[in-house]
């Protein structure tokens, strides 16, 4: 098991796009952590069900969408379209409604990412059955909040609290190099594999990836593609990727 976990360590950094795609976690590491984060798992490091659901949801969103840490913590309930099944990444620099000392921000471009109905259901359950119980949560719209008793209960989850949680789940797969950005690298690795299997051209792959990751388009052929068609392809690609990933996330 130790050797298997060590194999999940990200490769050495490189400036090349190919090497960035190859820096990824071992699938066994991701599966191990996800299994432990299921609310009914005996290995779940949390005790309160609402916290278990929140934590599993944060991990699933990071892995299934490739969001940055700041983008995740910057999510508001209004960014989730429960009818259309989408998540909206919005830039909110120096938001007056954010009381956190270190405000997490979206560093990439604004975009809309479709989510599978199963993931939308988890978010809906968390918001309506658990998050709403905290009075302080009504003063802001941020999706993920602090559940621990104290002066920050119900307020937006802080960067430091998130980092502490990441260290906790990293200990589930000790030595794996698991952290929030490693999940983003892993998403890109899986995306590259899927694009290769479907024989998508490098130019189109770059354009779709740039949209989903929130990067500026750098391809010289970008202008020839219809924007709406590219967004449709991006939606199909991310839903297909989530479908494969969420097979292991379903409750027993």
Per-residue pLDDT of the chain (252 residues; tens, 9 = 90+): 445 444 555 444 444 444 444 456 888 889 999 999 999 999 999 999 999 999 999 999 999 999 999 999 999 999 999 999 999 999 887 777 787 878 887 777 899 999 999 999 999 999 999 999 999 999 999 999 999 999 999 999 999 999 999 999 888 877 677 888 889 888 888 888 888 888 888 888 888 888 998 888 764 323 332 355 577 778 888 998 888 878 766 655
Note the Cα 202 to chain centre separation in Å.
Answer: 25
**Residue 219: predicted pLDDT:** 43
Q: Where are the alpha helices (DSSP H) in the chain?
A: 2-6, 17-22, 27-37, 49-65, 69-73, 117-129, 159-170, 180-197, 202-213, 227-246
Altogether, the residues listed in the chain come to a count of 252
Residues 6+ apart with CB under 8 A from 61: 67, 72, 87, 119
pLDDT score of 36: 95
**Helix (H, G, I), strand (E, B), or coil: what is residue 145?**
strand
Q: Are 222 and 207 in contact (CB under 8 A)?
A: yes
The number of beta carbons lying within 10 Å of the beta carbon of residue 92 is: 16
pLDDT at 23: 57
Kindly list the structural domains of the chain, giving each domain's residue range(s) and its CATH number in brackets, ordered by start: 2-181+243-249 (1.10.443)
Backbone angles phi, psi at 87, to 5 degrees: -120, 135
* H helix and E strand count, the chain: 10, 3
Residues 6+ apart with CB under 8 A from 139: 154
């Amino acid at each position: 098991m130790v050797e298997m976990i060590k194999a999940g360590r990200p490769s050495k950094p490189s400036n090349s796009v190919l090497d960035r795609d190859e820096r990824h976690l071992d699938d066994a590491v991701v599966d191990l952590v996800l299994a432990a984060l299921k609310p009914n798992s005996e290995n779940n490091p949390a005790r309160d069900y609402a916290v278990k659901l929140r934590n599993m949801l944060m991990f699933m969103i990071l892995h299934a969408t490739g969001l940055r840490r700041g983008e995740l913590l910057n999510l508001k309930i209004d960014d989730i379209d429960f009818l259309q099944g989408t998540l909206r990444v919005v830039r909110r620099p120096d938001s007056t409604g954010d009381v956190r000392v270190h405000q997490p921000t979206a560093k990439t471009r604004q975009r809309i990412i479709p989510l599978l109905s199963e993931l939308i259901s988890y978010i809906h359950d968390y918001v309506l059955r658990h998050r709403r119980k905290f009075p302080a949560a009504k003063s802001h719209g941020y999706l993920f909040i602090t559940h621990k008793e104290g002066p920050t209960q119900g307020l937006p989850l802080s960067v430091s609290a998130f980092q502490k949680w990441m260290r906790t789940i990293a200990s589930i797969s000790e030595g794996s190099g698991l952290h929030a950005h490693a999940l983003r690298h892993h998403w890109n690795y899986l995306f590259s594999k899927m694009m290769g299997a479907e024989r998508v051209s490098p130019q189109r792959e770059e354009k779709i990836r740039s949209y989903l990751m929130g990067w500026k388009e750098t391809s010289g052929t970008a202008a020839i593609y219809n924007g709406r068609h590219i967004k449709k392809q991006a939606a199909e690609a991310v839903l297909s990727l989530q479908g494969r990933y969420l097979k292991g996330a379903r409750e027993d």
